[in-house]
Structure 1
Amino acid sequence: MFKKILVPTDGSDLSNRAVRAAIEFAKDHGSAVVGLSVAQTHPYESFTLISRREDFSLLSESLRQRARDYVHIIEDLAEKACVPCQVHTVDSPQPWKAIVDAAAEHACDCIFMASHGRGGLNRILLGNQTHKVLVHGNVPVIIFR
């Protein structure tokens, strides 16, 4: 069916459940997994409360570290399930675009993701990032609710 499945995560509870389901799906279908977490960066002007460049650097590094922590969860779960896995993190102000780009870059033929994540009001129906991946993606998207 699918040879390589992109599994993005934002570390939310639903996203973690989607990761587990994606790994099980990959195991059942003999697929490999590519784990991805996006450190959602913002332009400097978004951080008017941050008065020093060092503070912004600390915030950026914190976001990157959380992204690394999230993909290590995917890596550990895939290893336990004997599913081939590679993981990546990227910085991007637009997570949906980073997900679509990663699917193309890593030759994934499917994206398996949660229906919503950390997006506040976007959690009501279908998450904003998930919706944008559906609209702009070039491969099938499996949505975990």
Structure 2
Amino acid sequence: MADVIRSHVLEPMTAPSTDIRRQLIEIAMSILRLMQSEEGTFVLRMSSERQARQGVFERYLERVRDVIHSSNRSLVVAAIERGDLASDCDPDLLLHTITGSMLVSSLMAMAPEVACETADAEEYCGRVVDQVLRGSAPALTHADGEPSATV
């Protein structure tokens, strides 16, 4: 099992750009690539076995979480610190929204195949990232014209 786990460890993504939109698209693309690969099948299988075999796959899943989430979290935190994202942006929720969207899109076969439709996949990831960055609700205001604190 240790050999199988070691053979499926993913390398952290490197993103030399400080363009947070570009970085988030690359994160989304990396999730699509993962989910459409043999490694992605392995991750899904291990996730489904997690309850039945607690502890067996925990180290691997911890590594996957670290690569997919923690290493990318620093990119989002840096963008918040630069002022590229709002100071109240939740880096974890932002990443969960994008990576979760890619996971569901892959599971439901709604995302373009990265291997044969790379441009379409990148365009799709860009639309998801733009939607997340833009939000969905209109700016809410009180009767006095002041912005609402809640949505």
Q: TM-score, normalised by structure 1?
A: 0.37
Comparing both structures, which one devotes a greater share of its residues to helix? 2
Comparing both structures, which one devotes a greater share of its residues to strand? 1
- The structure with the largest alpha-carbon Rg is 2
